[in-house]
Amino acid sequence: MKAGTYKVKAKGHGSSFMPMEVTLSDNAIQRIRVDASGETSGIADEVFKRLPAKIVKGQTLNVDTVAGATISSRGVVDGVAEAITLAGGDATEWKQRAKPEAATQAAQVEEYQTDVVVVGALWRRGHKPVEPMGYAFIHVLGDWVTEYGATILTETRAENLLMENSRVVGVVAHKTDGTKVTVRAKSVFLTAGGFGANTPMVQKYNTYWKHIDDDIATTNSPAITGDGISLGQEAGAELTGELFTGLQTPPENFIMVNQEGKRFVNEFAERDTLAAATIAQGGLFYLIADDKIKETAYNTTQESIDAQVEAGTLFKADTLSELAGKVGMDPATLEDTINKYNSYVDAGHDPEFGKSAFHLKCEVAPFYATPRKPAIHHTMGGLAIDEYGHVLDKAGQVIAGLYSAGENAGGLHAGNRLGGNSLADIFTFGRLAADTAAQENG
pLDDT digits (tens, 9 = 90+) for 370-421: 999 888 888 888 999 999 999 999 999 999 999 999 999 988 876 666 667 7
Q: Are residues 206 and 158 in the same domain?
A: yes
Which segment of 149-158, 246-255, 403-412 scores lowest on mean pLDDT?
Answer: 246-255
Q: Quick check: is 104 in a domain?
A: no
Which segment of 8-12, 47-51, 165-169 scores lowest on mean pLDDT?
Answer: 8-12
- The yes-or-no verdict on residue 16 having pLDDT over 60 is no
> Can you give the pLDDT at residue 279?
84
Strands 367-372 and 315-317, by their bridges, are: antiparallel
- Torsion angle (degrees, nearest 10) of CA 291, 295, 300, 305: 10
Query: Among candidates 64, 7, 4, which has minimal Cα distance to 33?
Result: 7
Q: Are residues 91 and 14 in the same domain?
A: yes
Q: Quick check: is 351 in a domain?
A: yes
pLDDT band of residue 65 (cuts 50, 70, 90) is: confident
Q: Are residues 287 and 259 in the same domain?
A: yes
When comparing pLDDT for 56 and 241, which is higher?
56
- Torsion angle (degrees, nearest 10) of CA 180, 184, 189, 195: 20
426 CA to centre of own chain: 16
Domain count, the chain: 3
- The yes-or-no verdict on residue 245 having pLDDT over 70 is no
> Can you give the pLDDT at residue 74?
84
Rounded distance between C-alpha atoms, residue 383 and residue 402, angstroms: 11
Query: Among candidates 102, 67, 87, which has minimal Cα distance to 21?
Result: 87
Rounded distance between C-alpha atoms, residue 139 and residue 149, angstroms: 15
Rounded distance between C-alpha atoms, residue 301 and residue 13, angstroms: 12
Q: Quick check: is 202 in a domain?
A: yes
> Can you give the pLDDT at residue 48?
77
- The yes-or-no verdict on residue 13 having pLDDT over 60 is no
> Can you give the pLDDT at residue 338?
98
Cα 298 to Cα 168, 169, 194, 408, distances in angstroms: 43, 44, 25, 27
State pLDDT tens for residues 95-153.
Answer: 999 988 654 455 689 999 999 999 986 665 555 556 655 667 777 888 888 899 999 99
Q: Are residues 65 and 149 in the same domain?
A: no
Q: Quick check: is 352 in a domain?
A: yes
CATH number at residue 146: 3.50.50.60
Q: Are residues 115 and 240 in the same domain?
A: yes
Average pLDDT over residues 214-228: 83
CA angle, 63 then 65 then 68, to 5°: 170
Of 355, 373, 391, which one is at a domain's C-terminal end? 373
Rounded distance between C-alpha atoms, residue 202 and residue 194, angstroms: 10
> Can you give the pLDDT at residue 59?
96
Active-site residue (options: 50, 124, 271, 417): 271
- The yes-or-no verdict on residue 353 having pLDDT over 90 is yes
Q: What's the chain's average pLDDT?
A: 87
Q: Quick check: is 102 in a domain?
A: no
Q: Are residues 123 and 190 in the same domain?
A: yes
> Can you give the pLDDT at residue 115?
95
Q: Are residues 360 and 234 in the same domain?
A: no
Let me know if 109 is exposed, middle or buried by CB neighbors in 10 A (0-12, 13-18, 19+).
exposed
Q: Quick check: is 143 in a domain?
A: yes
Average pLDDT over residues 335-342: 98
pLDDT band of residue 19 (cuts 50, 70, 90) is: confident
When comparing pLDDT for 185 and 102, which is higher?
185
CATH number at residue 86: 3.90.1010.20
Of all residues in the chain, the percent with pLDDT exceeding 90 is: 54
Q: Are residues 366 and 395 in the same domain?
A: no
Question: Which residues form the domain of 31?
Answer: 4-95
Let me know if 224 is exposed, middle or buried by CB neighbors in 10 A (0-12, 13-18, 19+).
buried
Q: Residue 342 belongs to what H/E stretch?
A: helix 331-347
Instruction: Count the neighbouring beta carbons within 10 Å of the beta carbon of residue 85.
Output: 16
Q: Are residues 306 and 337 in the same domain?
A: yes
Of 373, 390, 417, which one is at a domain's C-terminal end? 373
* Residue 94 main-chain phi, psi, to 5 deg: -65, -35
Q: Are residues 148 and 269 in the same domain?
A: no
Q: Which residues have CB under 8 Å from 59's CB, separation 6+?
A: 28, 29, 97
Query: Among candidates 295, 272, 307, 286, which has minimal Cα distance to 415?
Result: 272
Q: Quick check: is 212 in a domain?
A: yes
Q: Quick check: is 101 in a domain?
A: no
- The yes-or-no verdict on residue 15 having pLDDT over 50 is no
Average pLDDT over residues 9-37: 79
> Can you give the pLDDT at residue 64?
83
> Can you give the pLDDT at residue 211?
78
Q: Are residues 282 and 365 in the same domain?
A: yes
Specify whether 271 is catalytic.
yes
Q: Are residues 17 and 134 in the same domain?
A: no
Of 95, 128, 152, which one is at a domain's C-terminal end? 95
